[in-house]
Amino acid sequence: MNAHLASTGSAYFLETSKPAVETHTLSVIVDNEPGVLARVIGLFSGRGYNIDSLTVSETQHEKHVSRITIVTTGTPAVITQIIHQLDRMVPVHSVADLTVNGNALTRELAMVKVAGSGEKRVEALRLADAFRARVIDAGTQSFVFEITGKPDKVDQFISLMVPLGLVEVARTGVAGIARGAEGMRV
């Protein structure tokens, strides 16, 4: 008997494939009141979902409404489950999956501190110019660059700064909005 057949207990060679893990950007409109963010985040931590990026800000002061932008990863079934669970929460007005809806704009801001001198300093300035990063602080031993753009552009800039003397990074997290005339319902 074939050793593989004996070990699996099956005469069929069925491939057991796992669903692909995807990254999605969710935009959630919520009431701007104490405890709402904790409840939304509690949904993620209570079920073992990961948050890759989280951005929150009041967007309509007169309506006391905030937008929470969450970047998370999971299988398509997990992402669907997250959206349904968020949508059922009382302080949540609407949930949009910007990844699925397409045509969304996502941006992130980062401040990147690089220390160095001589040729490395010149190279850091050259790369910053190529990435349209602005120098927001400069000293004789270091620079702080400000860069905005898609998260993968920010990632690439940071990785190029590592060999040039990367010291520290502060990132805002992803902000996203759908294109077009329609807005999310409140």
- How crowded is residue 118: how many other Cβ atoms within 10 Å of its Cβ? 7
Q: Given this model, what pLDDT does residue 146 score?
A: 98
Q: Given this model, what pLDDT does residue 183 score?
A: 82
List of domains in the chain: 22-101 (3.30.70.260), 105-175 (3.30.70.1150)
**Alpha carbon separation from 19 to 8, 110, 155 (Å, rounded):** 21, 32, 26
pLDDT digits (tens, 9 = 90+) for 127-155: 999 999 999 999 999 999 999 999 999 99
As a whole number, mean pLDDT of residues 15-38 equals: 90
**Alpha carbon separation from 117 to 67, 123, 133, 164, 167 (Å, rounded):** 42, 10, 19, 9, 13
CA-based torsion, 15, 16, 20, 26: positive or negative: positive
Model confidence band, residue 12 (pLDDT cutoffs 50, 70, 90): low
Q: Given this model, what pLDDT does residue 10 score?
A: 59
pLDDT digits (tens, 9 = 90+) for 147-179: 999 999 999 999 999 999 999 999 999 999 998
β-pairing, 104-115 vs 134-138, is unpaired
- Give yes or no for a contact between 105 and 177, defined as CB atoms under 8 angstroms apart: yes
